[in-house]
Amino acid sequence: MTPVVNFGEKLAKAVAAHGPLCVGIDPHPSLLEAWGLSPTAEGLERFALTAVEAFGGQVSMVKPQAAFFEAYGSRGVAVLERVIAGLRDSGTLVLVDAKRGDIGSTMAAYAQAYLGDGSPLAGDAVTVSPYLGFGSLQPALDTARSTGRGVFVLALTSNPEGAQVQRAVAPDGRTTAQTIIDFASARNSGISPCGDVGLVVGATIGETDVDLSGFNGPVLAPGFGAQGGSVADLKRLFGADMRNVFPTSSRDVLKHGPDVSSLVSAVRRVQESL
C-alpha cells in the first residue's frame, strides 16, 4: 500500500514551487457580467474553466467558493466537480471553500463528500466551521488525516458580526478564537513540516488579539487585494515569519479576465508583491 502523504508536505512542496499565494475562483454574478457572460450554468462553466486554465500550475493553491456553484443547482455542482478535477490534473492543490460544520453522522457525510477518496467534490482541503464546538469537527479531522488532506478551520473572520462569537471570552480567560487555535495547535503537534489542520484568519481584521506563535499549521488569510488587505497588514498580523501564511486574492485577480494571459499576468504581479 502506498503511504499517505501528509497535507503539510504537499503544501511545502507547492510553496517551494510557486510561493504562498492562494487564488480564489468566485463566480459572482457581477464578475460573470464583467466578463461578458450570462449568469447561467453555461456562463458559470465558461468562467470557471477559464480560471482553471489560467491558474492551474501557476500558484500553490486555488480556492473555489462552493456557494457560487451551488447557486446553479446540480449543473453548478457538476461544474465545481470539473474545476476540482481540472486543477488536480494540473498538479495544483485545491481548497474547496464550503465552510461546512455540523454534528455526528451529518458531519461525517460532509467529511466523506469533501475529503473522502473517490468523491468528485473532494479537493486537497476544505474550510470548516467549528462553532458547534471544535469536537464536532472530529469526522473531518479524522478523514483528512487518513486521506492526506487538510481542513482550514474558521478562527478570526473579517465580517463584523464574527466578533460576537470569535472574540467572546470564556471563563478561563481565553477568547473563543484562541480556544479554537489552541485545539488546532494540539492536533498539529509534532507533525513536520506542518500539520494538516489550518486556520482562517482574515487579512483585514485589524488586530488579532490571539497568540499564533506556537501554531504549527497553515493559515489562510482571505481579503488580500480588492478587499483591502495589504502586505503591510500581513506582516503586522503574522510577523516577519510568514512561511505558513497563504494570502488569498480573488476579485483582484479575476477582474483581469476573461483573457487567460491577462489573468496569468495578474497572478504574477501579486506573487511578486508577496
Q: What is the per-residue pLDDT across 188-217, written as a single tens digit (0 to 9) for each?
A: 999 999 999 999 998 777 677 788 888 999
DSSP-derived secondary structure letter, 244: T
Which residue in the list 10, 13, 63, 99 is annotated as catalytic?
99
Position 119 scores a pLDDT of 98
Mean pLDDT for 214-228 is 82
Instruction: Please state, in angstroms and rounded to a whole number, the distance separating the CA atoms of residues 217 and 215.
Output: 6
Beta strands, E only, 157-193? none
Q: Which amino acid is at 198?
A: G
The separation between CA 220 and the C-alpha centre of its own chain, rounded to angstroms, equals 6
The answer to whether 125 and 96 have CB atoms below 8 angstroms apart is yes
Residue 10 annotated to the active site: no
Residue 186 burial (CB count, 10 A):
12
Inform me whether the pLDDT recorded for 52 exceeds 80: yes
Mean pLDDT for 92-106 is 97
DSSP-derived secondary structure letter, 120: T
* Set of cell numbers at residue 3: 503511504
CA dihedral angle for residue 77, residue 64, residue 52, residue 92, rounded to 10 degrees: -120
- Band the pLDDT of 228: cuts 50, 70, 90: low
Inform me whether the pLDDT recorded for 22 exceeds 90: yes
Inform me whether the pLDDT recorded for 83 exceeds 80: yes
Beta strands, E only, 125-262? 125-128, 150-156, 197-201, 219-222, 245-249
Residue 169 burial (CB count, 10 A):
11
C-alpha dist (Å) from residue 87 to 19, 23, 177, 195, 266: 17, 12, 32, 23, 18
Position 238 scores a pLDDT of 82
Instruction: Please state, in angstroms and rounded to a whole number, the distance separating the CA atoms of residues 127 and 130.
Output: 10
C-alpha dist (Å) from residue 160 to 30, 38, 65, 95, 165: 23, 32, 20, 24, 11
Instruction: Please state, in angstroms and rounded to a whole number, the distance separating the CA atoms of residues 73 and 94.
Output: 21
Inform me whether the pLDDT recorded for 266 exceeds 70: yes
